């Protein structure tokens, strides 16, 4: 031990999470392993297992990181905070920005999100995303309507991502407006 040098690397955990997201983006969840993430992050294999004992732990961290984008956009939206703004229109724009900015990133986020179907450890994190967006929307509508809006936006997003069709903001706005009138 006298000859070994311990390198101070406070960002290593974050780099490992970012590397896990890149690995899933390139190879899918099936391509994720401690070894593949260590190679992508350029860290020793022991670092990945030190910070994330299991692959589920690593996926939880990756999903949590991936969730931050859209939920933050909803929470930070000036249009959504304005009680006089068109809520359906503002949500349709945000959804379009999410799906249009980087389609590969949106696909990756949904791949991680839907992994919760087979990996129970991910379910609470997937639920956090729904709860965060619902909570932000609850500033404008009742909680049940907020949850329904999240479900509709999820459905529209999945249809766009799975079918390869272009996002139709007018369609989304119309559907969201119907939800708000119901």
Q: What is the mean pLDDT of residues 110-115?
A: 84
**Phi, psi torsion values for 42, nearest 5 degrees:** 60, 50
Can you give the residue ranges of every domain in the chain?
A: 8-53, 62-181
* pTM, full prediction: 0.79
62-181 homologous superfamily: Tetracycline Repressor, domain 2 (1.10.357.10)
Residues 141, 87: contact at Cβ < 8 Å? yes
Interval 7-66: pLDDT, tens: 677 889 999 999 999 998 889 888 999 999 999 999 999 999 999 999 999 989 988 888
Q: Of the candidates 30, 23, 96, 31, which has an alpha carbon nearest to the alpha carbon of residue 66?
A: 23
Nearest to 91 by CA among 73, 103, 107, 110: 73
pLDDT in tens, 117-165: 888 988 998 888 888 889 888 888 999 999 999 999 999 999 999 998 8
Q: Are 37 and 58 in contact (CB under 8 A)?
A: yes
CATH fold of 8-53: Arc Repressor Mutant, subunit A (1.10.10)
Looking from the CA of 122 toward its CB, the CA atoms found within 13 Å total 26
């Amino acid at each position: 031990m006298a000859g070994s040098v311990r390198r101070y690397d406070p960002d290593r955990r974050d780099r490992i999470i970012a590397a896990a997201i890149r690995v899933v983006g390139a190879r899918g969840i099936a391509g994720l392993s401690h070894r593949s993430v260590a190679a992508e992050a350029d860290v020793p294999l022991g670092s990945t297992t030190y910070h994330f004992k299991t692959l589920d732990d690593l996926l939880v961290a990756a999903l949590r990181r991936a969730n931050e984008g859209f939920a933050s956009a909803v929470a930070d939206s000036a249009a959504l905070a304005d009680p006089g703004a068109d809520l359906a229109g503002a949500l349709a724009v945000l959804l379009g920005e999410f799906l249009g900015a980087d389609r590969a990133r949106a696909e990756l986020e949904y791949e991680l999100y839907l992994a919760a179907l087979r990996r129970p450890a991910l379910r609470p994190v997937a639920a956090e995303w729904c709860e965060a967006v619902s909570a932000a929307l609850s500033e404008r509508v009742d909680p049940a309507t907020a949850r329904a809006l999240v479900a509709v936006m999820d459905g529209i997003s999945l249809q766009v991502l799975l079918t390869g069709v272009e996002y139709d903001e007018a369609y989304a706005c119309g559907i969201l407006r119907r939800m708000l009138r119901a």
